[in-house]
Amino acid sequence: MKAALEAIEKKAFEELEQSTDLKALDAVRVKYLGKKGELTAILKQMGKLSAEERPVIGQLANQIRAQIEEKLEESKTNLESKLLDERLKTETLDVTLPGNKQVIGKKHPITTVLDEIKEIFIGMGFEIAQGPEVELDYYNFEALNIPKDHPARDTQDTFYINDNVVLRTQTSPVQIHAMENKKPPIRIIAPGRVYRSDALDATHSPLFHQMEGLVVDKNITMSDLKGTLEVFVKRLYGEDSVVRFRPHHFPFTEPSAELDVMCFNCHGEGCRLCKGEGWIEILGCGMVHPKVLANCGIDPEEYSGFAFGMGVERVVMRRYNIDDLRMFYENDVRFLNQF
Ligand code: DAH
C-alpha cells in the first residue's frame, strides 16, 4: 500500500508538470483527490490494514495529499502568471491614440446670470429665501395689499388652481413668508419661477423667472434702497453705469419707483436696444407699505423696509443678445452649447 501511495504521488506530480492550462490542472485534482479519485480509493481500504500499519499508512497518505495540494496550488499560480504574461505580450496599447471626448453639460444661461446676481447680493450680506410656486391667494395678493377687486390683479393674468390657490404670479409673496418666519433685521433675496397665463411669444412666456429682494430693519430709508440698488447695477453692468429712479406705483410699496439704467448701447441717445428711450428699465422697487409690514406682525412705527423685484429673462437676453424668449425653454442643445 505504501508503494501504491508513492506511485500515486509520482504520477500526480508528473501530470501536474505536464498540464498546460487550468482545465488540465483541475482534471488532475479530480483524478487523484476527488471523491472517486485514486488517493481517496486507497484511503477507503484502510480498514483492511492491521492496527500497527494503519497509523503509519494514514500519516503517509495525508502527507502525500498535502504535497499534491501544494504542488497543485503552485502549478496554478505559475500557470496564471504565464497566461497573463502571454496576454500582455499580445495585447498592445497605443497610448498616442486620441481619447474619447466626454461631452459635459453646461449651465443654462438663466442659471449663470442668476448665480451672478445672487453672488452680488450675498456679497452685500443678503440671504437666499424661498417660497412655494403653488401659493395661497393670500400670500400672492391679499397680504401684499392687493385685495380681491384691486385693478392690479388684472395686470397679472393669474393661473387659479381654485378660489384660494394660485400659481404665484410674482416672487413678492416670499417677502410675506420671510417676514412671518423671521424677526428683523431681514435681508433676503428670493429668485424663482413665476407664472402668468400669457401666450408664448418672443417676449412673453407663461413661465418666467423673477428675483425679489427685501430689507427690513430699524431706520431703513429710501437712500438705503437707492444705494444698494445702484451698487447692484454697477456690479452687474459695469462701474460706469448710470442709473435713475422714476416714480411708479405698486400696491405693496409706498413710495414706489422703477429703476432704469442708461442704455449701454447708445449711452442715452436712443437706439433699437432701448427702443429709442435712451434708458432701460431694470426693476421695480419701493419702501415696504406699512400695511404689508403690519400684515406680517411687524410694527411699522418701529421698523421700515425696502423691496425690489426684477425679471431675470430680460437681463439674460440683453447680456447674450438673445431676441427670442422661447429659446430659453426649448432646450435645443445647439442653442445651449453656445454658452
Ligand atoms: N412684483 C412686481 C411685479 O411682478 C415687481 C416688484 C415691484 C417687486 C416692486 C417689488 C417691488 O418687491 O418693491 O411686477
Query: Residue 136's Cα: distance from chain center in Å?
Result: 28
Please count the CA atoms within 13 angstroms of the CA of 109 that sit on its side-chain side: 25
pLDDT at position 104 is 85
Mutate to test the pocket of ligand 1, among 121, 172, 282, 306 (most ligand atoms within 8 A of CB): 172
How far away, in angstroms, is 276 Cα from ligand 1 center? 25
What is the mean predicted confidence (pLDDT) over 122-137?
97
Cα 47 to Cα 49: distance, rounded to the nearest angstrom? 5
Is residue 258 within 8 A of residue 280, CB to CB? The reply is no
Residue with cell 433699437: 272
- DSSP letter for each residue of 252-297: TEEEEEEEEEE-TTTTTS--TTTTTSSEEEEEEEEEEPHHHHHHTT
Give the residue-averaged pLDDT of 125-152: 95
Which residue type, as a one-letter code, is found at position 178?
Answer: A
Give the CA distances from residue 141 to residues 157, 168, 187, 252, 298, in Å, rounded to whole numbers and listed in that order.
Answer: 12, 9, 22, 9, 18
Tens-digit pLDDT profile for residues 53-79:
888 888 888 888 888 888 888 888 888
C-alpha cell at position 129: 429665501
> Residue 242 is which amino acid?
V
Rounded to the nearest angstrom, the distance between the alpha carbon of 256 and the centre of ligand 1 is: 9
pLDDT in tens, 161-218: 999 999 999 999 999 999 999 999 999 999 999 999 999 999 899 999 999 999 999 9
Tell me: the pLDDT tens digits for 141-163? Answer: 999 999 988 888 877 889 999 99
Between 330 and 25, the more confident residue is: 330
Mean pLDDT, rounded, for 3-16: 83
- pLDDT tens, position by position, 30-41: 888 888 888 888
Residue nearest to atom 12 of ligand 1 (CA): 308
Compute, in angstroms, the gap from residue 172 CA to the centroid of ligand 1.
6
For residues 224 and 307, what is the distance between their CA atoms, to the nearest angstrom? Answer: 11
Asked if the model's pLDDT at residue 304 lies above 90, the reply is yes
Q: What is the pLDDT of residue 112?
A: 95
Residues in a beta bridge with 245: 259
> Ligand 1 pocket by C-beta < 6 Å: which residues?
170, 172, 212, 250, 253, 284-286, 307-309
- Closest ligand 1 atom number to CA of residue 170: 4
Q: Quote the ligand 1 centre to 175 CA distance (angstroms).
A: 10
pLDDT category at 110 given cuts 50, 70, 90 is: very high
